[in-house]
Structures are given as structure tokens and as C-alpha cells.
Amino acid sequence: MIEKPPLAPSKPFNRDEERKPSLVDAWGAAIASILIPGAGQMLARRIRRGLTILASFVTILGLLAWRMRLTARFDTEVWDIIIKSFRLDPYLLVIAISVLVLYIWSIYDATLLAKDNSKNPIGVFFWIMVVFFMLGWQIGQIDPVRLVTEADEAGPALGRVLWPWSRAITYPETLISGIVEIQSPCTDTPFPAAKPLPEEPWLVADPTCGVPSEQDGSPGTLIHLEGGNFSPDTLVELWWRDPIGNQFRQRAEGEYVSLIPEDDGTFSIEVIFPYRLIPPTAREEAQIWKIEARQVAAVGDPVISQEMTLVIEKMIETIFIGMMATFFGIILSLPLSFFAARNLMSANRITLFFYYLTRTLLNIIRSIEPLIWAIIFVIIVGLGPYAGILALTLHSAAALGKLYSEAIESIDPGPIEAIQATGANWLQMVMYAVVPQVIPPFVSFTIYRWDINIRMSTIIGFVGGGGIGFLLAQWIRLLDYRAAGLAVWFIALTVAILDYVSAEIRARYV
């Protein structure tokens, strides 16, 4: 038998309640309101209206003072603060004028009510809302113009996020280098010159000996370098190695020297023998210096980049975080949902106590965001997917527990008594009357939760909970927008695919 609670008689809202006449006339109310906004309304026996106006007025004035103090933060005198804040942010002046309008309006409102206190003019409340809205605009630093003007500069970064695929592949690189030896200082016997090589990269110098630049600025020997068998269109760096083995890059006019070979892989350049602090004794006899032309060149076919591999690995991890959290969430919430179902727990005071206990617990857990839970679990179990799974599990269990229990509460009691009437026992009753009724909502809620968990698991990594969010946060901070774009693309694709899959499951089983 379905027991319907009787409808509570709704108390009719009566605008024309018995109201005693105003205590003061229009002038009295105006003067009271000039002294204290809202006081006139209170004297007109509209206590709640007056208190609302007074509270709003005080709040607005407080907020305005705070914003003005913040704008003119280096001034101390009240008058200076007012003048300076209006000058720096004219919008504050607009708000101040609006507050003045509100003040006058509240006085006018008081005179109206003093004449006839059964009226309900809403103008003053409308204006209070307007002033709050203006304050919100100022506090929120809302600036629609900036959205348009700054979007221009964000273009390149956004472009990289939107089309990051060049970062998905990489070319294997190899170091190409040609070395030539230089003798310093020159001796009577000429130092043998290097020869171009047929297959390998080569570098020859002319002359083959010389003197370094001096500390006082007098230039060293001008050396003509020629090279070949380098990779065309790829940067070549020139490095020196002094007689004691230290390496340093060739500079010209303060800049590092680098060059790009011709199409046939050859280049030629003139460089000045650089200055180097060498122990004086080492200058006596001839020493061997070396010049190296270095090139990091891409060779062979492109391969998947390290970032791409990481994204795929972490995406798999992310999906499994969402899956495991959903799974554990279901297991925890199933028993909880029975405790949180009022129709099953209202038998006596003890079960009702457990009902309220479970409900309260579920509500508390649910009201804390999974990201906060993730931070807590990162503290307990450390960084990684396990913390993320724990956080999402807890939140899922609470959310599903509530949804499941509501599904149990809303089942039709008819089939239960029909099955009981056949002489079935409790287990048979649950199996034949309860389960068929709760399966569709359970499946539906579970899929819904799985959707949420996959989405949440993508960002749980922002606080160290494992998954792709960790990479995304890291790359955004490193300004590696292409790599971040890869992660974003994979998140979007995964969520879209799983959305589609869950919609299909829902259509088939619910």
C-alpha cells in the first residue's frame, strides 16, 4: 500500500497583512533616513526592509572603501586616498556616485513608505543590485577590451596548443664534426695542412699556424677555414680546443660564430685566432690548437618523439586511474547505498541513526573536491597514480552512494509486496522485485560517474595524483605549448571516445 504524505497546507502569501500605520510622517522618515539609511523604513514599521537597506548600505560602503584603499595604497590621508583612487580608477568614481544615488533613493523610499507602508516599491532594491554588480565588475577586474587586444599576442602560443603535431615526431640526430689542427706559434718547418676527405666531414685551415689575439686587443692571425661533407641547411658551430684541452666557442664581434653550409655541404669562413689565457711557459714552444666544426644533423626517418610516448603512456595511466576509481567506488558505495536509503532504514531508531550517519558522511565527503582529496592522499601515499585513485575512489563512493540510495528510495514498492505475497523469502524478494528495478538507474549512474572520473583523472595530476595532468601542468609551466597541446589533444580525444562509448552502453542497457 503506497502511503502518500498529506500535502502540507501551503500558507498563502498575503501582501495585505494587518499593518499598523507608520510611526512618523514623510518628513520624519526622510530625516531618519538621512541620518541612518534604512532608519526611515524601520520607523515606518518596515523593520526587515529597513535592516536590509542598512546592511546593504554598510556592506557597499565597506567594499568601496576597501577598493579605494587598494587603488591608492601609498597614501595615508583619507582625502588623498579618495582623490588619488578616483584619478587612478575613474570607475571607482562612478561607483561612488551610484552609492550616493542609492543613499538618496533610500531616503525617497522611506518617505513613500511613511505615507503608505503597505506599498512595496522595489526600485531601491533594484539599485542595490546594480551597485553590487558594479562593485563585482571592479573587484573581478573585468576588462572585455583586454580579451580582444591580448588575444592577438596569445596567438602563437595558442596556435601551438591547437596544432601541436610537429612535436609528436622527432628525427634521430647525429653529431657531424670536422677537426683541423693549428700550430702556435709558427715554427720554421711549416705545419702540414689537412686535406679534404672524400667521404667524411672535413675541415682545412689556411694558414696552418698563427698566434692568438692578445689581451690588449691586438688581433691574432686571420685563419681561412673551409669545410665539406656537412649536412646542408643545418647550423654549424665552431669550437676551439686550446693546448690544455679546454673547449670554447668561436666568437666574432661578441656573437657566437655559426654558419650554414651550401647545398653541396661545403662552407668557408674566416676567423680570428682568439685570445686565451695560457700559462706563459706554454707560449715558449709551439703548441697544437684545434678547431672543430660541429653540426647536430637529423638523419634517417622520423620517429615518435619522447613527449608523444609520454603522453600515450600517461593517457593509459589516466584511463586506468578513472577505471579503478570507478570500480572501487562502486564496491564501496553499493553497501553504503543500502544504509543511505530511507525506505530500507526507517524501521526503527537504530537503523534511522545509521541512515543519518551514512548520509552525513557521504555529504561531507562529496562536498570536498577530488583535487583536495588528491592533495591529502599525496601527503599520505606520495606522488603518483595511487593517490589519484584513492581521491577519486572516495569521491565516487560518496557520489554513487547518494545516487544509488536515491534509486533504491524511488523504487515502486508494489512489486515488493507482490513478490512477498507469493511466499518468496527475503533474498528472492530482493532478486526479483528490487534488483530489476534498480539495475537501470545503477547502470546509468555508474556510467555517468565513469565519465566524470575519466575527466577528473586528467586533471588530478595537477596536484601530483598521477596521469596526464602532471605532464600537462609541467609543460605549461615550461612554456612548451606544443607538448602541452599534445596532452590536450589526447585528453579531448579520449574523453570524446569514452563519451561515445558510454552513450552507446547507456542506450543499450538502460
By CB under 8 A, name the binding residues for other proteins. Answer: 1-4, 412, 414-415, 417-425, 427-428, 431-433, 436-437, 439-440
- State the minimum distance, in angstroms, from the CB of residue 43 to other proteins: 49
Closer to other proteins at the Cβ: 262 or 412? 412
H or E segment to which residue 227 belongs = strand 222-228
257 versus 334: smaller Cβ distance to other proteins? 334
285, 181, 191: which is closest to 242 by C-alpha? 181
- Which of 270, 257, 177, 259 lies closest to 221 in space, CA to CA? 270
Q: Tell me the three cell numbers of residue 147.
A: 580579451
When the beta carbons of 43 and 419 are compared against other proteins, the nearer one is: 419
CB of 409 to other proteins, least distance (A): 17
Min dist CB 437 to other proteins, Å, is 7
The nearer residue to other proteins, 433 or 488, going by C-beta atoms, is 433
Contact between 385 and 468 (Cβ < 8 Å): no
Q: Where are the alpha helices (DSSP H) in 2-143?
A: 26-35, 39-43, 47-71, 78-88, 90-115, 123-139
The CB-of-402 to other proteins minimum distance in angstroms stands at: 23
271 vs 433, which CB is nearer to other proteins? 433
How remote is the C-alpha of 142 from its chain's centroid? 19
Nearer to other proteins, 21 or 436 (CB): 436
**Nearest to other proteins of 9, 423 (CB atom):** 423
Q: Determine whether 196 is exposed, middle or buried from the number of CB atoms within 10 Å of its CB (0-12, 13-18, 19+).
A: middle
Closest contact distance (angstroms) between CB of 433 and other proteins is 6
Task: Pick the closer one to other proteins by CB: 101 or 510.
Answer: 510
Q: How far is the CB of 428 from other proteins (least distance, A)?
A: 5
Report how far residue 135's alpha carbon sits from residue 252's, in angstroms, rounded to the nearest whole number. 59
275: closest CA among 245, 244, 238, 250? 250
Going by C-beta distance under 8 Å and a sequence separation of 6 or more, which residues neighbour residue 69? 81, 85
Q: Give the nearest distance from C-beta 450 to other proteins in angstroms.
A: 22
Least CB distance to other proteins at residue 430 (A)? 9
Element (H, E) at 293: strand 287-298
Q: Is the dihedral of CA 160, 165, 169, 175 positive or negative?
A: negative
- CB atoms < 10 A from the CB of 136, how many? 11
- φ, ψ of residue 491 in degrees (nearest 5): -60, -45
C-alpha cell at position 493: 580525444
Nearest distance, CB of residue 510 and other proteins, angstroms: 10
DSSP string, 167-187: GTEE--EEEEEEEEEEEES--
Helix (H) or strand (E) holding 339: helix 306-339
Question: With respect to other proteins, which residue has the nearer C-beta, 213 or 420?
Answer: 420
CA distance 107 to 448: 54
Cβ atoms < 10 Å from Cβ of 283: 14
3-class state of residue 37 by DSSP:
coil
State how far the Cα of 510 lies from the Cα of 508, in Å rounded to an integer: 6
Please give the backbone phi and psi of residue 272, each rounded to the nearest 5 degrees, phi first. -95, 130
> Closest CB to other proteins among 5 and 245?
5
Cβ-based nearer residue to other proteins, 187 or 346: 346
Contact at 8 Å (CB) between 124 and 105? yes
Q: Please state the closest distance from residue 143 (CB atom) to other proteins, in A.
A: 55
- Give the shortest CB-401-to-other proteins separation in angstroms: 23
Give the nearer residue to other proteins in terms of CB position, either 3 or 152. 3
Q: Nearest distance from residue 424's CB to other proteins, in Å?
A: 4
